[in-house]
Amino acid sequence: MGRGMPSITLSDDSRKRAIASIQRYFADHLDQDIGELKATLALDYFLAEHGPSIYNAAIADAKTFFDERAADLGAICYHAEFPYWEARKRST
């Protein structure tokens, strides 16, 4: 990844679960039993090759979300300035 960022990594628990999931996928959908080493190599490949695309899409989605919220800030957080005299005009 760019700007000195480390490659995509998973926690130990997530990594173990992902490897088990890959093994199960191969067994269920491809009728192939693969060992932990092959599943690990597949996971490492997908993280290195496809992980950045998924990461970039997630960042773009997050940016869109925050841009939309930031666009609303003007309306949501706006307070009329010097409201005292306007409020007095309305009450008299």
Is residue 38 within 8 A of residue 55, CB to CB? The reply is: no
Residue-range domain boundaries for the chain: 10-49, 56-92
pLDDT at 2 over 80: no
- Encode pLDDT of 17-46 as tens digits: 999 999 999 999 999 999 999 999 999 999
Note the pLDDT of residue 76. Answer: 81
- 41-90 pLDDT per residue, tens: 999 999 999 999 999 999 999 999 999 888 888 778 888 889 888 888 88
What is the distance between the alpha carbons of residues 19 and 11, in angstroms, rounded to a whole number?
12
Q: Alpha helices, DSSP H only, in the chain?
A: 12-30, 36-49, 51-76, 84-91
